[in-house]
Amino acid sequence: MGCCSGRCTLAFICGMQLVSVFERQIIDFLGYQWAPILTNFLHIIVVILGLFGTIQFRPRYVTGYAAWLVIWMTWNVFIICFYLEVGELSKDSDLVLTFNLSMHRSWWMENGPGCRVTPVSPPPSWAPEDHRYISIAGCLMEFQFVEVAHSSLQILLANWRTQHHGYNW
């Protein structure tokens, strides 16, 4: 075995995916985005199984992990298209990412780099009583681009693993 075998590289990539998806999971929990929370949870489970398959030399686990990566990349392409409003998709829709259970959006909308949140008072008559109506200004990077960057990182990690290292152990 060389200094950095295929197994070592795959274990490293799985570790990087776990770190990045845990960070993403926390952010999605803060924004009450239920579809990404469920998908991230599935990804965490599959990556752990892929890591186990790599360490224990279980080809079926690694093959399942590789098959999941195709679904995972497709999901992340959808997220990119959603936030960039490709076609009929709208980032302002509650139905898609929150299953219409809440009015929450991306956590980055209010907490992005440099964002200043100011409550609007009095709130408009159409605003629900249990939600505050706010104005957001001064963001160095709009929230949709932060979300696109997160999804792009996930695609890069999944693609780097499949493109450059194949399945040689």
Distances (CA, A) of 15 to 11, 18, 92, 157: 6, 5, 33, 10
Cα separation, 47 vs 67, whole angstroms: 11
Number of H helices, E strands in the chain: 6, 2
pLDDT digits (tens, 9 = 90+) for 29-79: 998 888 999 999 999 999 999 999 988 888 899 899 999 999 999 999 999
What pLDDT score was predicted for residue 163?
A: 56
What pLDDT score was predicted for residue 105?
A: 76
pLDDT digits (tens, 9 = 90+) for 137-159: 888 999 899 999 999 999 999 98
Give the three-class secondary structure for 1.
Answer: coil
Asked whether the predicted pLDDT for residue 165 surpasses 60, the reply is: no
pLDDT digits (tens, 9 = 90+) for 92-123: 776 677 776 666 678 888 888 898 888 777 76
What pLDDT score was predicted for residue 169?
A: 47
What pLDDT score was predicted for residue 1?
A: 46
Q: Is 65 in contact with 49 (CB distance < 8 Å)?
A: yes
Residues 6+ apart with CB under 8 A from 10: 50, 54, 62, 161, 165, 169
Mean per-residue pLDDT over the chain, rounded: 83
Task: Sketch the domain layout of the chain as residue ranges.
Answer: 6-101+142-164
What pLDDT score was predicted for residue 119?
A: 79
Cα separation, 133 vs 119, whole angstroms: 6
Between 4-18, 31-45, 84-98, the lowest mean confidence (pLDDT) is in 84-98
